[in-house]
Structure 1
Amino acid sequence: MAPTGTEPQQHKQRTPFFSRPGVRRALPFVVISAIALVFIFENRASTEIRLLIPLVTMPLWGALMIAWGLGLLACAVTVRRRRDRKHQKRR
């Protein structure tokens, strides 16, 4: 039966924004990323970096961004592998 305008509609009680599981997991990432980006862009001096054999001169913020990106990539791979292992154990 379709709801009509005369019947009271039951509404689900809304969960507060910061109590949602997705937000609770993402909040530390957002805070740490914001702090890291402020740190990265405050360090604008040039620096010499040895990449195995060649010596490269580049801005420090660029080197920090590369390291930060590699860290995010490593975290994503680790979380994905851990999630895959949990699904395999349940089967």
Structure 2
Amino acid sequence: MTRTSTDKAHGSFLSRPGVRRLIPFAVITAIALIFIFENSASVEIRLLIPIVTMPLWGALLIAWALGMLACLFTLRRRPNRHSRRAD
């Protein structure tokens, strides 16, 4: 039996490349968020000059969000760098 184009359209959801790339991201994000919200003690954080007292989960969440932004900027710039051809 041969597969037709309608068979491919009804393939497994997990077999799609975009979904396979999203699964590790979702797992790591879930583990990071569990870790962040389990740490609820207040801590003193030095921000160059001022000292701020805040819950540890808030500091971890800010660090995680900044890391996600850095990742997005890195992934967004990568295809442009390789699209140039050497002539």
Instruction: Verify same fold: TM over 0.5.
Output: yes
1:80 maps onto 2:76 in alignment: yes
- The residue identity in structure 1 corresponding to 2:68 is L
Which of 1 and 2 has greater Rg?
A: 1
Root-mean-square deviation (CA), in Å? Answer: 1.8
1:12 maps onto 2:6 in alignment: yes
Among the aligned pairs, what percent are the same residue?
Answer: 64
With the length of structure 2 as denominator, give the TM-score of the two structures.
Answer: 0.86
- The residue identity in structure 2 corresponding to 1:31 is V
- The residue identity in structure 1 corresponding to 2:28 is I
CA distance in 2, matches of 1:26, 1:81: 19
How far apart are residue 11 of structure 1 and its match? Answer: 5.8
For these two proteins, the number of residue pairs brought into alignment is 82
Structure number with the bigger relative contact order (C-alpha 8 A, sep ≥ 6) is 2
CA distance in 2, matches of 1:57, 1:89: 52
Deviations 1:27-86 (A, max 9, x none): 100000000000000001100000011110000000000000000000001001102212
CA distance in 2, matches of 1:61, 1:15: 41
- The residue identity in structure 1 corresponding to 2:77 is R
How far apart are residue 87 of structure 1 and its match? Answer: 2.6
2:49 aligned residue: 53
